[in-house]
Amino acid sequence: MLTLRSSRFLRAPEKAVGIADAPPTSATMMKPTNAGVMPNAAAAFCTDSTKISLTTATNTVAPETTTTAATARATSAKRRRARRVRRARARRAAARRARARRVRAARAAARRRVTVRLSASSPTFLCVDGDGRQLFDGTLTGSRTFRGRVVRLNVGLGPSTRVTANGRPVPLTASPTGVELTPKRRTLLPLGSRPCA
């Protein structure tokens, strides 16, 4: 049985192998045909041309840029976040420094002031001046506390009244007794220079 074959078909496998072995000259994808498959007799009478391979052009791959919009937004968000963190740290540090200044000022003020606590075991006359103004003038029953840079006392019953200046006891031996108290010293006052005298 004689079958007809086209000359193009007989040369197609040779051309396909030669083209497949050669490196591609452009960015193309090669899909080789099945060269070993022989057409049947009905296909031999076909006059359509055969293609050696199916070629499709591929898209050129552009290198990915590092400064895309998404990464730019991410880096600017990181910068804003870092700026907020730095500002918060600065605010906390400033608050700590302000607290430390207030504590130092309070301690310095406490060193410059005297706290006098009086407690009477029986009612007694008491007159107190602090920093040039009168703080108390009357009868003391129980205990009272006075603060100032300079506190001057005139106590009617000295021995029955307990006095402390910044936590240290101040002995009162006479009745009446006058005392001037500062943070560093205590001075007995003569009769004419006592408060309310």
For residue 126, the model assigns a pLDDT of: 92
**Beta strand spans in the chain (E):** 28-32, 53-57, 114-130, 133-148, 151-155, 161-165, 168-170, 177-181, 186-188
Phi-psi region of 138 (alpha: psi -120 to 50; beta: other; left: phi over 0): left
Q: Tell me, yes or no, whether 197 lies in a domain.
A: no
Pick from 14-23, 159-168, 183-192: least confident? 14-23
183 is in which domain, residue-wise?
Answer: 114-192
Tokens at 17, concatenated: 């192998």
- For residue 111, the model assigns a pLDDT of 77
pLDDT value for 14: 58
Total-model pTM:
0.47
- Cα gap 132→158, rounded to integer Å: 23
Domain membership flag for residue 97: no
- Mean pLDDT, rounded, for 54-79: 69
Query: Pick from 42, 57, 72: which residue ends a domain?
Result: 57
Q: Say whether pLDDT at 95 is over 90.
A: yes
**Whether residue 118 sits in one domain with residue 186:** yes
Q: Does residue 56 surpass a pLDDT of 80?
A: no
Using an 8 Å Cβ cutoff, are 146 and 116 in contact?
yes
SS3 content of the chain, % helix, strand, coil (to 5): 35, 30, 35
Give the pLDDT score at 172. Answer: 86
* 52 belongs to a structural domain: yes
Cα 135 from Cα 157, distance rounded (Å) = 19
Residue 99 located in a structural domain: no
Q: For residues 35 and 112, what is the distance between their CA atoms, to the nearest angstrom? A: 109
The answer as to whether 79 is a domain residue is no
Which of 23-27, 65-69, 125-129, 189-193 shows the highest mean pLDDT? 125-129
Last residue of a domain, one of 19, 36, 57: 57
Same domain? For 52 and 120 the reply is no
Q: Which pLDDT score is estimated for 12?
A: 55
Domain contains 87: no
d(CA 131, CA 54): 108
Mean pLDDT of 97-118: 89
Residue 124 lies in a domain: yes
The pLDDT of 55-72, averaged and rounded, is 64
Give the pLDDT band of residue 136 (cuts 50, 70, 90).
Answer: very high
Angle subtended at Cα 193 by Cα 187 and Cα 196, rounded to the nearest 5 degrees: 115
Domains contained in the chain, number:
2
| Total residues belonging to the chain | 197
- Which residue, 163, 88, 83, 87, is CA-closest to 120? 163
pLDDT of residue 159: 85
The verdict on residue 81 lying in a domain is: no
The answer, yes or no, to whether residue 34 has pLDDT greater than 60, is no
Highest mean pLDDT among 34-43, 60-69, 83-92, 125-134: 83-92
